[in-house]
Chain A
Amino acid sequence: MKTKLLHSVFVILFISNSLSAQEKRNFTHKKSTPHQAEKYTVSGYIKEQGSGENLFGVSVYIPELKVGTITNEYGFFSFTAPKGKHSVVFSYIGFTSQVKEIDLNADLEVFVNLIASSEALSEVVVIADQHVKESKVTQMSAVRLNPMDVQDLPALLGEKDVLKTLQLLPGIQGGSEGSSGFHVRGGTPDQNLIILDDAVVYNSNHLFGFFSVFNGDAVKSVEAFKGGFPARYGGRLSSVINIGMKDGNKEKLSGNINIGLISSSVVLEGPINKGKTSFIMSGRRTYADLIVQPFLDKDENGGYFFTDLNFKIHHIFSSKDKLYWSNYYGKDKFYSRYLDATAKEKTNLAWGNITSTLRWNHQFSNKLFANSSLIFSNYEFKIDIDNKDLKIDEYDDNYLFNTSSGIDDYSIKTDFDYYPNNKHSVKFGAIATRHNFTPQRVVIKDPYSGSINKTQELNSFEGAVYLEDDWKITDKLNFSPGFRASYFNYKAKNYLNFEPRIALSYNLRPDLAFKASYSKMNQYIHLLSSSGIGLPTDLWVSSTDNVKPQSSEQYAIGIAKDFQEKDYSFSAEAYYKKLDNVISYKEGASFLALDNLESGKNINWEENITTGQGWAYGTELLFRKQSGPLTGWLGYTLSWSERQFDELNLGKKFFDRYDRRHDISLVGIYKPSEKITVSGTWVLSTGNNYTLPNLQRLNNLGNFPINTNYSYYNGSEEFSSGRNNFRGETTHRLDLGIQFHKKKKNNKVRTWGISLYNAYSRQNPFIYTLDDKYYDYNDPNATIEKELTRTSVLMLIPSINYNLKF
């Protein structure tokens, strides 16, 4: 497989080189023409009309010259064009395209406001080329999600979820049923780099993975990379999910109220100083705990909630200097209280993220743009138990137990975008991060077993420099070389790794491109998880002198075809990924064994893990329609994911838990009028792998002199002959949604949304267990027998939500 892929890559490289040489000769010849001498730079910013929100990924293109670029994350673009009159087309998905006539006889700054399609007047002509075509970009294995799709698609309990929408794309697979944890091209959830406004988000889940932490209302852009990683990204093996928050409306106060079955959210945004400074704040909270509060016993209550708060300020000093301050706070909390005459007991179990990013954009010239960021990211999980003894007697029964684990990151980062000419689009920069890990902090005050106060800390440093170029060698051939050098330090141990990245695309026809990529990645921090479902007790740890960084190499080839007239696109990719030094818990080790919280006893986490290797390969097909009343996609993934650890599964290779042979997703959003949105998704995938005992033997055989068996039962003992020896049943599910929109006075839009999760009530497996079959106690001939039980969750979950935009 690997050989075949390598062969394909080299063949493409060879063809590309030959073509490049030929085109170079043509180019040299053209260079002598007098018109080529006078070229000017066109640069500027593109914003959303009405809100002043910078737009990321807008196509800026002069069709007759075949010259163009796309805007960066801050809406900035720059390209050069020859002197003369040109028509520049600005197009962006979900927005009405605009054509601007320019008379180029000097460097030019252009500021464009695009109008959202939903707000465009009917007489505005919509140009077919509404967005950057897949066949026109060198980047492969990447997808940019329209945040509107997240809002339009049906969601579990009406909670619009960015990460679950991403799971509908080929190569990005969900974990357990209903979970927002995801696996990209055979990777694990910790191999996904999830970034919110430059800050790493360590735990992207609420409620054990049923919901993601990203409040869809405050999200402006979602960009996902599954492979062919640009050099500006690093630190994870399998994917990069770059989520951008809205900057806030600079023109007027506006907002959004959403009331759902389990949570409500509010977004408020507006100018602080019109046209200069804007803010956006959003909040979301579940309220099941508040609703049940009146029905609980006065002396005893408890509950669960999760909440998210986003706050961002954007200030424009000048057209060349801008400041952004983004903050996120998210928390899950279980709590219980008990009070009587003898005791007062309080238990809290909480976990969450805090991120804060201060970014400064500076435009040095019309060709050089820079962003510098100061970033803080925190994740903490903690348990607090405080039992106070109210009895008046000789015994002191006060008990205090606090434990926490977490990670604090302090980063400084700078990124430059340089557009020297139309052939090159260069990015370079550096990042430095100090990781402060706290695998465990424990404070126990116990009158019987004594007091404990101890903290484990690991401090490490991670840094990287990178350089990448999107080089348009000819009209047909693009080449993106990239280089990243990453460095990691833990105590006296230093790791220095070089990560080459290569991507190329060759346009056989204007609407058909062949693409290939190679990327090497290193990951210096790891998540210890035995459950794989995103429990808060999953522990982030650093590479150390004993635990080497994880690394991967990924090769991918593919084609991208655009059907211009119909605005369909089709892409097919094949990939091969080799993973090294991937970590896993040793047999039987888990967060429960690792953290014996009740006793405060602590086992060194390094003793509990083992390293191995992995292989992931497969093919992904995506057929997509992105404009018109009916949009959506059909995705298919054929994949394999294998692992081998010397200390697991008797050293034998085994299929990963989330190795799934087939994954199909069909997504449709239909907007017949402004008043209604109908949507549906249907997914089918091969079942997950599970480790289950498949054999049983007599218990307590042999003559070992020490009794290690806690069970007093002397019958049989089940055991498993191999890891992931059991393939679960195929899962499939249909989700339906309908939204009714009504425009009210003062431009307010009211939306009622109804959704049905798992509409035909498919009993998809969540877990499998071995249970005792029913037997009659009174029957003297009764026998005991095990049976396999499937537990299904989330069947036919209806929801309704109300949304008001103002």
Chain B
Amino acid sequence: MKTLTTLLFLLLIVFSGCQKVVDADKLLDAEEKVYILSYISPTDTLLTVSVSKALPAIGTALSFDDTENYSSFIIEDAIVSIADVEGNSVQLLYSSENSMYSTNAENLKITEGSQYFLEVITPENTYTSSCRIPEKVATILENLAGGQDDYGVYTDVDISFEDIVGTANFYIVGAKYEETFEEETYQGSLYFETGGFLTDAIGDGVILNDKTSAYTGFLEEGTSVKLTLQVANVEEVIYQNLRASYLNDNSDGNPFIEYSIAPDNIDGENGVGVFGGYQLTEKIIEVQY
């Protein structure tokens, strides 16, 4: 497929007259918006909400230093609260430490199947949203197979789990690794073949699986790597939103793939973003080398 794309680009270059920067102001509508993001789960220790600006993609100069950019984006003076159906409400306060509004999860009990309501009041507008906490995946099964190639020792990780019966479910699969080499600990994420995005569209209650590989090229024999396998059952809005980001990132620069529009569930003028519930199942395994 890469060959085809490359040939197509080469062809375009052959036929190309030129590339020219054009004034986007008259062509592309880019009204500033408020971007709100919050994922809540019963296992959270901290409830967090991020409130920031969405600025025009074209013509906004950003610094190479991310912390400087935060001041352009982050909205620090919002009033943020989360409530449950019984009217219990908790206010989240802004913390410059993580640039988010947060509160201890003990202040509002998050439970499976319950609905929650978010309210964000900025000096200009009020934004609302709601979410529901989905069911938790019971068990993760894994199948590991080791090997060695020119790049070093690897472990193929095949994880599977049973779809929750009776509902349309959206899953995000991931894995983290932690290894120690010369007294230094290295951490990272593993990426799965499907990007980690799975649904039960192929059948209710089926076994779903995804694969990834972990390379541990410079580990000495006898050492181990800690793998944390993760399966999150998420609300569709989270799934679609993160998948849109993933796909747009994946196809970046390919003009022949339609750009994905990330869904949002924030109500309020010029509000955009996601307030969603999820449940995370994790399994930690030690892989010996």
**A residues engaging B (CB < 8 A)?**
178, 207-208, 210, 304, 334, 336, 347, 349, 383, 448, 530-531, 533, 535-537, 585, 587-588, 590, 592-593, 595-599, 601, 604, 607, 648-650, 691-698, 701-711, 714-723, 725-729, 761, 763, 766-770, 782-796
Contact = CB atoms under 8 A, between A and B. Distances in A.
Contacts of A783: 61-64
Contacts of A787: 21, 24, 58-59
Contact of A718 (B4, B29, B57, B69): B57
Given A178-B15, A207-B11, A704 B39 contact: yes
The 5 closest A-B CB pairs, nearest first, are A706-B174, A795-B17, A588-B247, A588-B260, A783-B61
Contacts of B53: 697
Given A650-B261, A650-B264, A783-B61, A708 B246 contact: yes
Which of A347, A708, A783: most chain B CB closer than 10 A? A708
A692 B238 CA distance: 22
A769 B247 CA distance: 16
Contacts of B232: 704-706
B256 interface: yes
A347 B1 CA distance: 12
A333 to B, nearest CB: 11
Contacts, number: 265
A601 B54 contact: no
Interface string B39-76: 10000101010101111111111111010011001100
A533 B230 contact: no
6 contacts: A304-B7, A587-B262, A592-B251, A697-B35, A698-B69, A708-B242
Contact of B39 (A703, A710, A768): A703
B196 A696 contact: no
Contacts of A720: 259-261
A189 to B, nearest CB: 15
Contacts of A537: 1, 4
A715 B249 CA distance: 13
B85 interface: no
A485 B146 CA distance: 60
A67 B158 CA distance: 78
Nearest to A723: B261
B258 interface: yes
Given A587-B240, A698-B73, A716-B62, A793 B17 contact: yes
B285 to A, nearest CB: 17
B69 A715 contact: yes
B28 A705 contact: no
A598 B259 contact: no
Given A607-B201, A696-B55, A648 B246 contact: no
A729 B258 contact: no
B272 interface: yes
A698 B272 contact: no
Contact of A791 (B19, B54, B149, B201): B19
A532 to B, nearest CB: 8
A77 to B, nearest CB: 47
A304 B11 CA distance: 10
Interface stretch (B87-95, B116-124, B125-133, B187-195): B187-195
Contacts of A721: 29, 33, 261, 272
B202 A650 contact: no
A650 B236 CA distance: 13
A695 B1 contact: no
B208 interface: no
Contacts of A788: 21-24, 27-28, 58
Given A334-B3, A701-B50, A783-B63, A789 B56 contact: no
A792 B257 contact: no
Given A593-B247, A692-B259, A696-B55, A706 B22 contact: no
Contacts of B243: 587-588, 708
Which of B35, B189, B251, B256: most chain A CB closer than 10 A? B256
Contact of B61 (A304, A726, A784): A784
Given A696-B60, A787-B21, A604 B253 contact: no
A691 B246 CA distance: 17
Given A707-B174, A708-B242, A782-B64, A726 B28 contact: yes
A725 B29 contact: yes
B230 A702 contact: no
B196 A698 contact: no
A601 B195 CA distance: 13
B250 interface: yes
B61 A708 contact: no
Contacts of B251: 590, 592
A719 B248 contact: yes
Which of A349, A650, A701, A794: most chain B CB closer than 10 A? A701
Contacts of A716: 62, 69, 73
B143 interface: no
Contacts of A304: 7, 11
A587 B256 contact: no
B245 interface: yes
A711 B249 contact: yes
A598 B3 CA distance: 11
B86 to A, nearest CB: 25
